[in-house]
Structure 1
């Protein structure tokens, strides 16, 4: 077995305080990660290292420290990272227990840096909010107000405030003048919990829009706890804006970004940053995914600005790296950058672009290592084999996808827990592996082949191709080979969570500012009025 150097809690803390680049990677599945982890830990499960690491930790000489909580995953992750070409990989001394024993603060939930920052913003700026009961009374009275939902459109469609309009966070300053043209109109910004409501409301206030603005206090959680009905399947979205509105919003956003210390780059400056092999530079396009697909700067990643601020750790997983933001209007990049700068990032907005620079089309494709070669079977061959009990199908998709639909008889497995799963799976003469696209299953097939002498096959095109062929499907938790730990169930998702869990989540958020003080490594600096 390979040997790796170790890094201590104090090494990590010192690097954070010195603003040095580092990637602290928790290689457990999302649910155990969400139960307890350091503030700036990024969750990249061992199961998905090959799929996610090149995008999230793009510089191969980055100082990476991996850890688990005694499950034996960290050293396997370190070996895989070395095989992927990373040259400075260490294991956290003592793992999560070592962090705790050294006095390190540990946090619950996901996207904690952003959520803790949002709570700090509210505590410093006293961001105004209205309780659910008051907003409901205004709606009932048909008062002059608009409710703007700052989440992603799919989240908004799942559940939203009746009459609310989907305006994801980075779009608010650009779109609000068209949605509330009367400066007397009350603007309410909501999300599911608190963070995006606070940041969205404060964005409008920071930009100096003339309307009265308030967050919906505690979001849809607060609405539900108040016994008020949510709407489902709403589809009201923002519309295009006039050139006058765009120019006014751009001036407001640029002024705010300058106050926050956002840097400016042209294409030559960006090239110089990207050529520096001692620093990591992320290039994010913060417009909508539809705009990105229609035309974007080559090499940029689609990362809508509101979500970038909400879950920075999931895309910019190297703390201390540089971030460059791109848009085509001067609003969304500057607004998003103003927040990232307050969160301690070195951030710049790319200026001087023309329409010709947005020359690449299509969705963002993550960088991947060379894909392993695996024997494959098509849908028709698998359909024939399913009549034979000697064939065992293993599905490595997200558990939520599996529960929604899967190939009849398929067993759901987490790749990193494959060895344990084999102990409970039926005896097989052959294995066929799948996931949504078969990409993750391709890497899992290599793992399985090392664990068994039975033939291992990959389903061409994955479960998506099986569905497209009109083959039969099952749903539900029919064959779970391991517990569903791949995703942490957020207390703010859906309306079927216990009231105690929703209230407990709010109480946890209220306590984040105190946790930040105890941790002391965040480097956040909230812009004053």
Structure 2
């Protein structure tokens, strides 16, 4: 690492306070990242660096600082970034331990800037909330109340408040008038924990809707801790709104954005921003993924607004960059932008768009570097090999996907931990690598072949192709070559979390405002 540049904690702190562009990249897997990291660190695991980095840090001369916690990832990651064309890459002096020793604040969990901001909003705006017991009593009494779930639809389906309607956060101001047309109806916004319910409820209040509004205090965690049953598999969703509803909501949303300092630009102004090589400009389409797929502005990324506010560090990993938001109704972009502006981002909404601007169709595809050349085999060839001895299959999908289903006999591994994985694998005459599509497997194959003289192959089309061929599958955790550190187990996810973990998570959230004050770099300004 002697030939690599290092960057100190004080340098990064100075740049954050000056609102200069920087990317502080934690190269560990998500679980160790979630145990301790700086406030504005973005988790881009070394295992997936090439697949994620171009979208998350689009400008090649961005000041990037990478770090680990002594695992030896930083030097490798820095060299890979330089090879990918990034020109201002440094290693954090002393790694995570150096940050701590220099007096830097460390935070737990994921998407911490957004969650800490949510707690600050509640403390400043005194966002109204109702306890689980109060909401349950209203529902039992069949009171005039509507419960709006501000999470993604899949989260809502997994577990939710009985009778709740799925209305992801950015949709609330646009949809509420038709979900609660009587201004006397009590509107309750919930999520799994606290952030999205606070931001959702405060969005409705900021927009000036006539209904009484409250967040469900502590979300589904609070509901569960109160001993109340959650519903599973619900499917209530919002429907299309009328032109008059859309127009009224757009007027409210634009006023909210103006109060927060959101900028207005045209397509010409957007082009000027994008041509500015000295600044990073992200272009986000905050409508639903279905709307995006049907037609979107060329070059935009699908990032539904509620999740963009909730997971800003994941989508915009360059702190100090410019964010440009797009919709086709004047509501969702303005409401999302209002929060991002308060979170310290320079953010603009594109005005005067017309239907013909949304000409590109299909799902968003991440920009990728050149994919390594590999030797591929068909599913038919692998099926033949698996009837003999000597073939070891390695699966590099997420551990959750692996547990759900994988090829017979496949071992699960993390790309950045291949040396450790090899020690736990049986003797192989050949290795066959896969993942969902085999994209990550292609990068892993290059790494593995450098470690072993044993031939390495990649399954053409990945596990998806195997499934399409109707071939047998297994499930479960039977062959983990390394521990499952690729994903942090969120205490507010799923249906089987220990009560102690849920209570501990709430107590951690309650302490975030004090942590923000100790850190001092957040730049948040609640309007």
Q: TM-score range by the shorter chain?
A: over 0.9
Does the alignment pair 1:395 with 2:395?
A: yes
Distance 2:154 2:293 in 1: 18
SS of the residue aligned with 2:431? Answer: strand
Does the alignment pair 1:428 with 2:428?
A: yes
Q: Which residue of 2 aligns with 1:137?
A: 137
Gaps of 5+ in 2: none
Q: Which residue of 2 aligns with 1:207?
A: 207
Q: Is the 8 A contact 1:224 1:495 kept in 2?
A: no
* Aligned counterparts, 1:208-287, within 5 A: 208-287=208-287
Q: By how many angstroms is 1:389 displaced?
A: 2.0
Deviates more, 1:214-223 or 1:489-498: 489-498
Q: Deviations over 1:207-263 (max 9, x none)?
A: 000000000000000000001010000000001101110000000000110110000
TM-score, normalised via structure 1 length: 0.99
Q: By how many angstroms is 1:36 displaced?
A: 0.2
Distance 2:103 2:388 in 1: 56
Q: By how many angstroms is 1:388 displaced?
A: 1.8
RMSD: 0.6
* Aligned counterparts, 1:40-55, within 5 A: 40-55=40-55
Q: Which residue of 2 aligns with 1:71?
A: 71
Q: Which residue of 1 aligns with 2:454?
A: 454
Q: Is the 8 A contact 1:37 1:96 kept in 2?
A: yes
Distance 1:84 1:267 in 2: 30
Q: Which residue of 2 aligns with 1:356?
A: 356
Q: How many residues align?
A: 527
SS of the residue aligned with 1:348? Answer: strand
Q: Which residue of 2 aligns with 1:416?
A: 416
Does the alignment pair 1:468 with 2:468?
A: yes
Q: Deviations over 1:88-129 (max 9, x none)?
A: 000000000000000000000000000000000000000000
Q: By how many angstroms is 1:377 displaced?
A: 0.4
Q: Is the 8 A contact 1:38 1:105 kept in 2?
A: yes
SS of the residue aligned with 1:277? Answer: coil
Q: Which residue of 2 aligns with 1:512?
A: 512
Q: By how many angstroms is 1:307 displaced?
A: 0.1
Q: Which residue of 2 aligns with 1:346?
A: 346
Q: Which residue of 2 aligns with 1:478?
A: 478
SS of the residue aligned with 1:451? Answer: coil
Distance 2:267 2:225 in 1: 50
Distance 2:12 2:2 in 1: 23
Gaps of 5+ in 1: none
Q: Which residue of 1 aligns with 2:289?
A: 289
Does the alignment pair 1:497 with 2:497?
A: yes
Q: Which residue of 2 aligns with 1:366?
A: 366
Q: By how many angstroms is 1:386 displaced?
A: 0.6
Q: By how many angstroms is 1:423 displaced?
A: 1.2
SS of the residue aligned with 2:403? Answer: helix
Distance 2:352 2:174 in 1: 19
Distance 2:323 2:229 in 1: 40
Distance 2:494 2:400 in 1: 14
Q: Which residue of 2 aligns with 1:307?
A: 307
Does the alignment pair 1:335 with 2:341?
A: no
Q: Is the 8 A contact 1:372 1:446 kept in 2?
A: yes
Q: By how many angstroms is 1:406 displaced?
A: 0.4
Q: Is the 8 A contact 1:2 1:79 kept in 2?
A: no
* Aligned counterparts, 1:87-102, within 5 A: 87-102=87-102
SS of the residue aligned with 2:215? Answer: strand
Q: Is the 8 A contact 1:23 1:65 kept in 2?
A: yes
Q: Deviations over 1:126-162 (max 9, x none)?
A: 0000000110010011000100000000000000000
Distance 2:124 2:241 in 1: 32
Q: By how many angstroms is 1:2 displaced?
A: 7.0
Q: Which residue of 1 aligns with 2:23?
A: 23
Distance 1:85 1:155 in 2: 38
Q: By how many angstroms is 1:495 displaced?
A: 2.4
Distance 2:487 2:372 in 1: 26
Q: Deviations over 1:36-93 (max 9, x none)?
A: 0000000000000000000000000000000000000000000000111100000000
Q: Which residue of 2 aligns with 1:386?
A: 386
SS of the residue aligned with 1:513? Answer: helix
SS of the residue aligned with 1:347? Answer: strand
TM-score, normalised via structure 2 length: 1.00
Distance 1:308 1:97 in 2: 30
Distance 2:132 2:366 in 1: 41
SS of the residue aligned with 2:450? Answer: helix
Distance 1:352 1:125 in 2: 32
Distance 1:370 1:68 in 2: 26
